[in-house]
Structure 1
Amino acid sequence: MTATETQDHKALREAVSALGKRHGRETDPTRLWSDAAELGYIGVNLPEAYGGGGGGISELSLVLEELGAAGCPLLMMIVSPAICGTVIARFGTDAQKQQWLPALADGTRLMAFGITEPDAGSNSHRITTTARRDQDTGDWLLTGRKVFVSGVDIADATLIVGRTEDARTGRLKPCLFIVPRDTPGFTRRPIDMELNAAEKQFELVLDDVRLPADALVGDEDAGLLQLFAGLNPERIMTAAFAIGMGRHALAKAVEYARDRTVWNTPIGAHQAIAHPLAQAHIDLELARLMMQKAAALYDAGDDMGAGEAANMAKYAAGEACVKAVDQAVHTLGGNGLTREYGLARLITASRVARIAPVSREMILNFVSHQTLGLPKSY
């Protein structure tokens, strides 16, 4: 990979930025989603054979970053085309690809992703949602719970991470299942969040949810390979989400610092104001470089290399975003907490990039164990 973007990427940035600016601070993302899909942005990473743009996570992360920088990020881009679309494109059956990819690409159907559980948190090895075969019919029966699942109410189906028993070892291994929204036994409850976002969070209960044999995505024995095919894009896209948000906050702070005059001097002339904003810009640019590296590795098929880079990108972007938002609010003072400027809502939203889909502490664990070779404390 190179540190400079191609002309195609620059052109895509400009086009997406223009779309974002036309929409501005959307309270309902439905219209923006439709417009972005019509222009080919939602499915830019999906195969051309199924109506996508034939690009990769590099292009999709660019789209999300620019929409975020315009103040109108689409959270479901992380879930529907990035995680679910990627997993189905890589591992789905021909029938699953035909059924889902064209509709995910043109934005007419959405898919949610359910992995987190109340007692498992970030530990995918402790997932208790289990799938067992009905020996008479060949159907799957899923039982378990999921929490903090975004957009279940607007998604046509949810890609559920469960565990099946390995016939040879008896051990449980992760598998992925497509669960349509109205499947009997599949219920949802909204989680009351302080976070002000258009996409709602849900707790899911699967009570002996019966699925046909072809609801299983990919090979039953592939296990973690298929799971991380979705988790690496999730981390890269979360980084894009954070960088876009940080850029949006920083742009507002820079504009304010340039225009706000006290004692005949713009406040941005003071180093106490200017230097923290410059540092925020540097941190966001560094995070973007790591995000681009992670996306390039993933698109090149280097899943192992992408795993390390994706975690680092998500960590760096989350930290940079929180600092940029905090400094932006501080720059505006009382105005930073008004609805007019729209920064106060980002104080809570920026923390999402630190917490989800994996906490900063778990990323530090990953780097210390996997990269540095240090022993585990657990």
Structure 2
Amino acid sequence: MDFVESDERRALRKAVADFASGYGHEYFVAKARAGEKTDELWAAAGELGYLGVAVPAEYGGGGGGIGDLAAVCEELAAAGCPMLLMVVSPAICATVIARYGTAEQKRRWLPGFADGTTKMAFAITEPDAGSNSHKLATAIRRDGDDWVLSGGKYYISGVDEVAAVLVVARHVDSAGQRLMPSLMIVPTDAPGFTYQHIPMEVVSPEKQFTCFFDDVRLPPDALVGAEDAGLAQLFAGLNPERIMAASFATGMARRALDQATDYARTRAVWGTPIGAHQGIAHPLAQCAIQVELARLMTQKAAALYDAGEDRAAGEAANMAKYAAGEAVAAAVDQAIQVHGGNGLSAEYGLGALLAASRLSRIAPVSREMILNFVAQHTLGLPRSY
């Protein structure tokens, strides 16, 4: 087992960090507060191949794994540009299509994922289902050769800036019985598809939406993979999502810690830098340990996924997501505390990280559901819910 990243991965990290430093936190927050998108950043990252590092080479991508894409996501976040759609579009959607799509679907979508010219959202959460994917009410049924989609989704990221949404829906047979869930590609301009913005306190250019599907008619090739594949096919996208969410969180945590330690080294009270006091130094050191442990678990999860060890990768991805969520929440909180009143001033920008860091304990899967998973599947305890 190698605990050191490859030379290629480390070179990728450095290249992305250097690239992202030309944009940074000020650019990202200014765009968010102005209600604008980070289109320039996304386009440049796509042109340089960073968004497509995990897309197969035959479709214009880098031919790497989810670990490479997670490294890109982490370095962007560490530079102050945590792009949420990276967790969704090139990670979930591109991965699912590359793994289960038809030859035509791959030709249609993967080159755009590779160069960043295509963005796709992912829709699974529903108001009345929450974390219980078995209660999904959004339905898909046959009508001749076409599909007809009905229902709704909740808290779907970036719908206003994507070409299509990969929707999780349950099949309904002729008797009205709900069968296994499937994945459908739904263009955002499809008749009957509407969406409504959900105002959020998170400072981000990427917005959240409620989606409505009013008998949206889709062609036969809207279905990705087998219609009876069920949850196994779905988790081909959800495990990368957890890995990417963990990298998203550890990147933000690294930024907060860097800022806090810089401040603690230079801020002097009574002639001594505040970082010389254990009351400041020890909590920051504890946060640094948490972040590094989360990063290590994330790299393990990515390595298992890229090796095709889906079951082990699922366990590791959940653990990584949990660890990263706890680490970033602690790191941002401590960074604000170190700064005192400056921690919530616009000048230092840590307040903008506060809601985003707290969100990492909730989405895309809550810490409580991860604890349920580990208790049941890792420890073999009775199911508690």
Same fold (TM > 0.5): yes
CA contact (8 A) 1:151 1:200 kept: yes
SS in 2 for 1:73: coil
Match of 1:156 among 163, 173, 181: 163
| Partner residue, 1:36 | 45
CA distance in 2, matches of 1:258, 1:367: 39
From 168, 172, 178, the counterpart of 2:185: 178
Residue matched to 2:152: 145
Task: Select the residue among 245, 257, 264 that pairs with 2:264.
Answer: 257
Q: CA deviation at 1:101?
A: 0.4
Q: Is 2:9 the counterpart of 1:9?
A: yes
Tell me the distance in 2 between the aligned counterparts of 1:169 and 1:144: 15
Instruction: Give the superposition deviation at 1:377.
Output: 2.2
The aligned residue for residue 24 of structure 1 is: 24
Match of 2:124 among 115, 121, 132: 115
Unaligned runs of 5+ in 1: none
Matches within 5 A, 1:347-362: 347-362=354-369
Asked if the contact 1:280–1:323 (Cα under 8 Å) also holds between the matched residues in 2, the reply is yes
Cα distance 1:331–1:299, how it changes in 2: closer, same or farther (>3 A)? same
Alignment of 1:123-272 (within 5 A): 123-134=132-143, 137-165=144-172, 172-272=179-279
Q: Secondary structure at the match of 1:88?
A: helix
Q: Distance in 2 between matches of 1:238 and 1:337?
A: 25
1:76 partner amino acid: L
Counterparts of 1:162 and 1:182 in 2: how far apart (Å)? 18
Matched, 1:104 2:118: no
Provide the rounded CA distance (Å) in 2 between the counterparts of 1:297 and 1:377: 28
Q: After superposition, give the CA deviation of every residue in 1:204-223 in whole Å (9 maximum; x if it has no partner).
A: 00011100111000111211
8 Å Cα contact 2:148-2:218 kept in structure 1: yes
Alignment partners' CA distance in 1, 2:199 and 2:77: 24
Deviation at 1:166, TM superposition (A): 6.9
Is contact 1:163-1:173 (8 Å) kept?
A: yes
My pick for the range that moved more, 87-96 or 2-11, is 2-11
Instruction: Out of 326-335 and 26-35, give the one that drifted further.
Output: 26-35
* Counterpart contact for 2:170–2:178, Cα < 8 Å: no
Task: Using the TM superposition, give the Cα deviation of residue 230 of structure 1 relative to its aligned residue in structure 2, in angstroms.
Answer: 0.4
List per-residue Cα deviations over 1:255-296 (Å, max 9, x = no partner).
000000111110000000001111111100000010000000
> Tell me, what secondary structure is at the counterpart of 2:62?
coil
Matched, 1:89 2:80: no
SS of the residue 1:294 aligns to: helix
- Distance in 1 (CA, whole Å) between partners of 2:287 and 2:133 is 33
User: In the aligned structure 2, how far is the partner of 1:167 from the partner of 1:100?
Assistant: 32
Contact 2:158 / 2:206 at 8 angstroms: preserved in 1? yes
Bigger drift between 311-320 and 187-196 goes to 187-196
Q: How far does residue 22 in structure 1 lie from its aligned partner after superposition?
A: 1.1
CA distance 1:93–1:167, shift in 2 (3 Å): farther
User: What letter is aligned with 2:259?
Assistant: K
Distance in 1 between the 2:294 and 2:346 partners? 28
**Which SS does the other structure have where 1:22 is aligned?**
coil
Equivalences, count:
376
Aligned to 2:86: 77
Do residues 67 (structure 1) and 79 (structure 2) align? no
1:328-357 superposed Cα distances (whole Å, 9 cap, x missing partner): 000000111111111011111101110101
Counterpart contact for 1:166–1:173, Cα < 8 Å: no
Question: Which runs of at least 4 in structure 1 moved beyond 3 Å after TM superposition?
Answer: 165-171
Unaligned segments of structure 2, at least 5 residues: 32-36
1:49-91 per-position Cα deviation (integer Å, ceiling 9, x unaligned): 0011100100000000011111111111110000000000000
Q: Distance in 1 between matches of 2:73 and 2:150?
A: 34
Task: After TM superposition, give the deviation of residue 35 of structure 1 in Å.
Answer: 1.1
CA contact (8 A) 2:70 2:243 kept: yes
- The equivalent residue for 2:340 is 333
Q: Indicate the SS of the match to 1:153.
A: helix
